[in-house]
Amino acid sequence: MANPTAAMLVIGDEILSGRTRDANMHYLAGALTEVGINLAEVRIVSDDRDAIISAVQALSAVYDTVFTSGGIGPTHDDITADCMAAAFGQSIDVRDDARAILQVHYDKAGTELNAARLRMARIPEGARLIDNPVSAAPGFSIENVHVMAGVPSVFKAMVASVLPTLTGGAPLISKTLTIHRGEGDIAGPLGALAEAYPALSMGSYPFQRDGKYGANIVVRGQDTALLDEAMGKLAEAFS
Amino acid sequence: MANPTAAMLVIGDEILSGRTRDANMHYLAGALTEVGINLAEVRIVSDDRDAIISAVQALSAVYDTVFTSGGIGPTHDDITADCMAAAFGQSIDVRDDARAILQVHYDKAGTELNAARLRMARIPEGARLIDNPVSAAPGFSIENVHVMAGVPSVFKAMVASVLPTLTGGAPLISKTLTIHRGEGDIAGPLGALAEAYPALSMGSYPFQRDGKYGANIVVRGQDTALLDEAMGKLAEAFS
């Protein structure tokens, strides 16, 4: 049976300008692979209302689950929550449950819950809050979309809050064989092996190290015995 | 005048599975920013024919220029060239100009130009070759799409081959002020400033370091004098 599919939408000018290197995508990719959810597509868009709305609508329609990161803070460029409400035809306002969470957090810290911070309690009608044990301000889930913060420590904490609520698939097992030859020598036997094992996926990821070519051959599948058999043949072909 | 826009399409299961962390996107983002081309969207898709074709068609229609990385090697999972031909309604076969480049390269190396390596000479009809000074096998440009390798050293070399052929925009200047306060305290004055300077873009990128909150405020624009003026007011507001 096919594993559940997921997509990620990264929201933020800072990644598209090359200022920041995204860390959340790589983390989510690993976490989803572990629970057998197939991350099938990632899109990165800027802090632009139309771009965010059309991307989340497109991804939500095609994949089982969508994760977003970024744009839910207190500043003027944090427009993700309003875009999500618009994308799914919901109203949005400061919600009492989210405000209460912020109030407790900022009271403890002796910090004023001012108008800017209160923006973080703007949650679309009908959305479910996502727990944020790091900095309190919640994410939220609307339809099949989980809306999370961009700060990596908070993103990770929110992923941990959301993952147990999802139905995973059979974990994908993956094995790697590193071959120190050019891909041009690997391609023939590898292609034949890939045809002989249609239930497995075989990928060749070339590298160049100290001026020499090689490739990591990654074989993925859900049947350990079949995987071991194919890895044996692979090793034999390139011994 | 608005700067030219670009998008990037990253092709490769290895990134979506969390196995590899993409390096090309971050590199391209920085290189485009330097020449005043606005990287507006990135998509990452797996080695799947339909996904690649529909993504490149969508991006090519919306943005001035599209860059792809990955999937142009000699192995069975390298399907990018065939997908590009299909996306733009062109035929594809081994092309003499590309074959000649490979022949010279492999003759020099004393390596056989076998059937697998010859796959790298499959170039869509009408496409222009992109020079690859690292490992010879060329990329190609079809319509407004530049199709490049995924191996970072080769990707970089191909970007260097393509960039001089593109028309850039006025370089975007960006200045950063790091403020060691929570975004909730920054948001009010920053929002007012962003409204007062509509020609500049102001972004707030929060971080958490040693348990303390802060944010990098990045102001971008094309008018140095205006940028300096706004940075002065920003510093004043948070002094």
Span A185-189, mean pLDDT? 93
Sort out which chain B residues have CB atoms less than 8 A from A172's CB and list them. Answer: 17
If asked whether residues A143 and A56 sit together in one domain, one would say yes
Is the domain of B147 the same as that of B211?
no
* Chain A residues with CB-CB distance to B116 below 8 A: 183-188, 191
The CATH code of the domain that includes B179 is 3.30.70.600
Q: Both B112 and B184 in a single domain?
A: no
Q: What is the ipTM of this complex?
A: 0.89
- Domain identity same for B204 and B153: no
Q: Are residues B25 and B98 in the same domain?
A: yes
CA distance B144 to A8: 26
Shared domain check, A32 and A132: yes
Q: Which residue of chain B has the CA closest to A62?
A: B51
CATH number for B27: 3.40.980.10
Q: Is the pLDDT of residue A99 over 80?
A: yes
Give B27-80 pLDDT, tens digit per residue. 999 999 889 899 999 999 999 999 999 999 999 999 999 999 999 999 999 999
Which of B165, B184, B208 is a domain's end point? B165
Percent with pLDDT over 70 in chain A:
100
Residue among B78, B117, B125 nearest B99 (CA): B117
Q: State which residues of chain B have pLDDT below 70.
A: 1
**Residues A32-57: pLDDT tens digits?**
988 889 999 999 999 999 999 999 99
Q: Are residues B115 and B19 in the same domain?
A: yes
Number of structural domains found in chain A: 2
Tell me, yes or no, whether A158 and A188 share the same domain.
no
Residue ranges making up the domain that contains A109 = 5-165
**Do both B138 and B231 map to the same domain?**
no
Global confidence as pTM: 0.90
Same-domain check for residues B190 and B109: no
Asked if residue A140 lies in contact with residue A162, where contact means CB atoms within 8 angstroms, the answer is no
Mean pLDDT of A76-105: 97
B200 and B103, same domain (yes or no)? no
Picking from B208, B37, B99, the residue whose alpha carbon sits closest to that of residue A18 is B37
Choosing from B149, B165, B181, the residue where a domain stops is: B165
Task: Identify which of A16, A39, A40 has the shortest CB distance to residue B29.
Answer: A16
A2 pLDDT above the threshold of 80: no
Q: Residues of chain A with pLDDT > 90: what percent?
A: 74
Stretch A174-196: mean pLDDT, rounded? 92
CA distances from A42 to A11, A13, A147, A177, B234 (A): 11, 15, 14, 27, 35
Decide which of B114, B140, B165 is a domain's last residue: B165
pLDDT beyond 80 at A172: no
Same domain for B45 and B149, yes or no, is yes
